[in-house]
Amino acid sequence: MDLKKTIIEVFKDVNSIKEEGALASYIPELANVNAKKFGVHISTLSGMNFGLGNFEEKFSIQSISKVLSLCLAYQMLSGELWNRVGVEPSGTAFNSLTQLEKDRGIPRNPFINAGALVIADILLSNLADPKRDLLTFIRGLSGNQDVNYSSKIASSEKSIGYRNVALCNFIKCFGNIKNEPEEVLDFYFDLCSIELSCQDLSALFLFLANNGKTIQGNKQILLPSKTKRINALMQTCGFYDESGEFAFKVGLPGKSGVGGGIIAIHPGQYAIAVWSPQLNAKGNSYKGMKFLEEFTTLSQLSIF
């Protein structure tokens, strides 16, 4: 299979389709992004790296960063982590408060906003300098020392983050947030503001295709058993209430962000990142979803 040829063919096809979707305009800074941007980059375990379009341009990865904060928390806490956050698909929007009442403050999974807030709280309780330590972790994974938070995007999110404030305070009243909500929210908004390119993302996430071990430096970040569980969570919960659709059409573990990015993993093979800022009704990249569906269909390289 000539992956480069397949990517070129699918990219051209998807890039020609009618523009659909909308920018995440509820975050003021994301409303200013050029809606026509489109990039893709693949990194394989065999050493191939290939990108097309705007694959070198940095964008706000938003909820994709929740996988990274989860990996760091899981590295430290192991199985205790799952006492505070579940592993089930939510079936509701990423910022829903509905299930927290019924589940008494235990979020359904780590990738909805409520779950990511609990993970942020865990990191605050276990790291000496959470913001610095998370960046150090991500920089170590990628070998890229330029990875950083965007104060512009974090401030933009804070200015409209009322629902996340409600989520954090609601979880706090059940005792599942241990730190002060203001501190948790400050850290959460920063971790969602990280900016990376498709090229950065595919290289960074390749360890999840490699049994938890980095390609650069051969460092074991997560045990294979933990890596399997992170991939399983991405497969079942990585796209909010469109996770079943992504599994059905694409057939890979993955994670989306409202900045228009998607990272997808084929264990034992590759990591592929796509960026197109216009989102469908569920908050996932319209072109990104189309690209990955066509790519895995044409290449016959999904996990199924």
Binding residues for substrate: 63, 113, 157, 164, 188, 240, 258
Residue with tokens 């730190």: 179
| Among the listed residues 186, 169, 172, the one whose alpha carbon sits nearest the alpha carbon of residue 120 | 186
Identify which of 113, 95, 70 has the alpha carbon closest to the alpha carbon of residue 233: 70
Query: What is the C-alpha to C-alpha distance for residues 193 and 295, in angstroms, rounded to an integer?
Result: 28
Of 293, 280, 300, 283, residue with least CA distance to 249: 293
Using alpha carbons only, give the angle 107, 124, 217 rounded to the nearest 5 degrees.
100
Give the containing element (helix H, strand E) for 211.
Answer: none
Sign of the Cα torsion 138, 139, 142, 148 reads: positive
Give 89-153 as a DSSP string: ---S-TT--HHHHHTTT--S-TTSHHHHHHHHHHHHHH-SSHHHHHHHHHHHHHT-TT----HHH
Cα(59)–Cα(56) distance, integer angstroms: 10
Tokens at residue 35, please?
Answer: 């809606």
Q: Which amino acid is residue 273, in one-letter code? A: A
Are the C-beta atoms of 147 and 190 separated by less than 8 Å? Answer: no
Taking CA atoms, 276 is separated from 71, 86, 261, in Å, by 25, 30, 6
Distance from C-alpha of 290 to C-alpha of 249, rounded to nearest angstrom: 9
Cα R_g (the chain), whole angstroms: 18
Residues contributing to the annotated binding site: 63, 113, 157, 164, 188, 240, 258
